[in-house]
Amino acid sequence: MSHILVTGGAGFIGANFVLNWLAQAGADSVVNVDKLTYAGNLKTLASLDGDARHIFSRSDICDRAALDSLLKQYRPRAVLHFAAESHVDRSIHGPADFIETNIVGTFTLLEAVRAYYADLGDAEKAAFRFLHVSTDEVFGSLGPTDPQFTEATAYAPNSPYSASKAASDHLVRAYHHTYGLPVLTTNCSNNYGPYHFPEKLIPLMITNALNGKPLPVYGDGLNVRDWLYVGDHCSAIREVLARGVPGETYNVGGWNEKTNLDVVHTLCDLLDELQPKAAGSYRDQIAFVKDRPGHDRRYAIDAGKLERELGWKPAETFETGLRKTVQWYLSHQSWVEDVISGDYRNWVAKQYAA
């Protein structure tokens, strides 16, 4: 049986990837390596209970012995690296975990994979890939009329999160250049969709709106992000894994630049339509709050290389993807309740205290 090894497969994008991957006919089995931090949630993967094609290991990517043992046991044909500390605001409150997982963890994983790769036969070596899932935030912040980020844009990370992801990207690149490891890196824009942890803008706004709480918009609400439906990110990763050129990087984006205020207004309008309040609009709950320190003004991705070279384009528009997402949250309130009943409350108290 052929395997792929996925790190961070109990998180938002990793779990969507695993679910989508195993929905394909004839898919390789998945060895899912996840530490189950606050962001990891096995309930997201409940539909795979009893499915022998999903092998879950609660392990830390900083644990070299655990990684060696999993690689030796399952001999994956590819490693897809999603595991990370991913929330910018948390990286501002406490950067240490970001350095540990995103830099030391990626380094530890690369070392384990380098040793594993060195022992593969020629045919297995030729087929093997290490795919590193990264972010557009490594490129820094754009002005209103600057061109979108391309694969040639210089790195200029501004938050502890993006700096730690930039460091991991550089390590991945170096392992190709120095050791010949067949790596692929994807730099993606903001994702949204099912199973998104409600600390991030879109699920936070949906959750707060439904609970009658303020919708906290940072600063003037005019920061711009480029939104991509998570299923489209997963299909891009599958394309890059199948046909990407080792050593290359690929930008992934939705061609959907929106201000945060536009996003929140659209969400409120969808909720007004799908779950109207007794009186008034969800827009009445919008509250402007203190800005994020060092808040990047604009991200925008030029995903042209992926389209030209691998024929990938997003399937969802922002309108179709956001409607699906709101509908998903409305019909999965127990998943949300479960997530927000625990430690999440402490985070909200700390972040939105003022």
Do 131 and 81 form a contact (C-beta atoms < 8 A)?
yes
* Residue 259 dihedral angles phi and psi, to the nearest 5°: -75, 155
Interacting residues of 327 by C-beta distance below 8 A, sequence separation 6+: 274
Residue 7 in the binding site for ligand DAU (CB under 6 A)? no
3-class secondary structure, 139: helix
239 is catalytic: no
In terms of DSSP H, where are the helices of the chain?
A: 12-22, 64-74, 88-93, 96-98, 106-118, 122-127, 160-179, 201-210, 230-243, 260-274, 304-310, 318-331, 333-340, 344-351
Pick the catalytic residue from 117, 161, 250, 329: 161
- DSSP class of residue 147? P
- 168's contact among ligand NAD, ligand DAU, none, with CB below 5 to 8 A by partner kind, is none
- 76's contact among ligand NAD, ligand DAU, none, with CB below 5 to 8 A by partner kind, is none
319 is catalytic: no
Q: Rounded distance, CA 71 to CA 255, Å?
A: 37
- Say if strands 257-259 and 224-229 run parallel, antiparallel, or are unpaired: antiparallel
Residue 40 in the binding site for ligand NAD (CB under 6 A)? yes
String of contacts with ligand DAU for each residue 248-277, x by CB under 6 A: ------------x-----------------
String of contacts with ligand NAD for each residue 196-225, x by CB under 6 A: -x----------------------------
Tell me the residue length of the chain: 354
Q: Rounded distance, CA 84 to CA 65, Å?
A: 19
Which position among 36, 42, 115, 310 is part of the footprint of ligand NAD (CB under 6 A)?
36
- 223's contact among ligand NAD, ligand DAU, none, with CB below 5 to 8 A by partner kind, is ligand DAU
3-class secondary structure, 287: strand
Do 65 and 39 form a contact (C-beta atoms < 8 A)?
no
Residue 201 in the binding site for ligand DAU (CB under 6 A)? yes
Which position among 6, 56, 70, 105 is part of the footprint of ligand NAD (CB under 6 A)?
105
- 101's contact among ligand DAU, ligand NAD, none, with CB below 5 to 8 A by partner kind, is ligand NAD
Binding site for ligand DAU (CB under 6 A): 86-88, 135-137, 189-190, 200-201, 204, 216-218, 223, 225, 260, 292, 299
Residues engaged in binding ligand NAD (CB under 6 A): 7-8, 10-14, 34-37, 39-40, 60-62, 82-86, 101, 105, 133, 135, 165, 188, 190-191, 197
Catalytic residues: 136-137, 161
